[in-house]
Amino acid sequence: MTTLNFELAVQLAVATLHQARALNLKPMAAAVLDSAGHPLAVLRDEQASYLRPQIATGKARGCLGLGFGGRELARRAQTMPAFFDAINSLTGGEVIP
């Protein structure tokens, strides 16, 4: 198994931004966290808004902390808003579904 280190994290973030451009998505940011939820690489497309890195990090923390992918996290947030309010209180607002 490949160990996630700084170099790999940067490669993953760069590849994510390149893929977003290839798919003609709106400018975004990419966040790669270690297993403890600490950022190893956070990159923002130069056309992305200034909040995109925080949004990407919040989404990554939610997926990592709750063990679901982004779509499932968003689905559960819609069906269990009180639970996600509690999660945001617990994390100081660091989780974005």
- Convert 28-81 into a string of H (helix), E (strand) and C (coil): CEEEEECCCCCEEEEEECCCCCCCHHHHHHHHHHHHHHHCCCHHHHHHHHHHCH
Q: Does residue 14 fall inside a structural domain?
A: yes
In the chain, how many domains are there? 1
pLDDT at 42: 99
For the entire predicted model, the pTM comes to: 0.90
CATH at 80: 3.30.450.150
Give the model confidence (pLDDT) of 72-91 as tens digits. 999 999 999 999 999 999 99
Q: Please give the residue range of the domain that contains residue 50.
A: 6-90
Is 95 among the domain residues? no
Residue with tokens 């100081």: 92
In this predicted model, what pLDDT tens digit does every residue of 10-48 receive, in sequence order?
999 999 999 999 999 999 999 999 999 999 999 999 999
Q: How far is CA 78 from the centre of its chain?
A: 18
pLDDT at 2: 78
42 residue type, one letter: V
- Which neighbouring-strand residues pair with 41? 32
